[in-house]
Structure 1
Amino acid sequence: MKNLRLIPFLFAFSILLFTFGCEDDDDPIIENEEEVITTATLTLFPNGPQEMVTLGFSDPDGEGGNAPTFTTTGQLMANASYRGQMAFGNEEGSIVSEIVTEGAEHQVFYVSDGGASLSFSYDDADAFGDPIGLVTMLTTGDAGTGTLTVTLRHEPTKGAMGAAINNPAAAGGSIDAEITFDIELQ
């Protein structure tokens, strides 16, 4: 008879164990969490007698807070060609090696607007032969002023219809960084 009195308690205890023991309290694992990008530099090496040009961006406190700073060294020349090297970083340092390692999950796009005629082409690729965009070739047109928007996309569809070096929207994915530089071609 003593054992029969324990049955309701054992039943209640079992229900409590099942209820709390089966609760899924594990946090989801986030793979390839997006980086906070606070610096970017586009270095343009001349394929001729013109000088090297560097376009820089810095926003140490990230979005919001203080306005970012932009720097330009050298003069971008009209009707010239350059080899471009794009770099991204944050307070921990450069994240270029991470972008290269995860090349299939990243792509950089270059969109010019206004009177600065810039024509970019990719000169690097991921393990599948698709462009990454950290290394480019640039051909400039006639003298003028305008803007250059550099966009780093995470998990784009690299073969999407319409996706091109100057059309990041067609590739989809999320934006890791989008920076607009003022451009003057002389």
Structure 2
Amino acid sequence: MRNTFLKTIRQDWKGSKILFGRTRVMQKALGRTPEEEHRENLAQLTKHMSGDVGLLMTDEEPQVVRDYFESFVKSDFARAGIVAPLTFTIPAGIVYSRGGQIPAEDDVPLAHSLESTIRSLGVPTQLKAGKVVLSGDHTVCTEGQVLDGKQTRLLKQFGIACSEFKIVLVAYYDREASEVQTE
């Protein structure tokens, strides 16, 4: 998770409490069994807690929370280990700062100082007359392939934000009704 996006969420929900931590610790704090739970039926919420989970404690209506998180979707750069949602190929010739995503007349050539960095990431470039040049097309990633660190750095270098940051609501505890509702 990107810290900058979480900062925005924390700022937007200032009057509420947001908790992230170890899932088992949060489950233990809420109570895993009816005997351990701090409120009636709260143990049912812990059954929905697995993986990367956070808790938002607020007095806002569930629909307000739903609407906020449905609209809070941010473009982000990919991280290693995710599946590539697209195929990205750098065309042969002079390498441009956007890697061929926009017409050459609207782009600028990649700075010569970045040639060694791009080459160290596996792109077979050369420096000719102060321009970074690629002798043939180079495929950085293929759709459906798991990305490694070099590929994600190249995607970021060429300005390709192919990932999304969003929060998925799973369930909530209704304090007045003492029941857990799933989304």
Q: Which has the higher strand share?
A: 1
TM-score (norm 1): 0.21
TM-score computed with the length of structure 2 as normaliser? 0.21
Between structure 1 and structure 2, the one with the greater Rg is: 1
Q: Which has the higher helix share?
A: 2
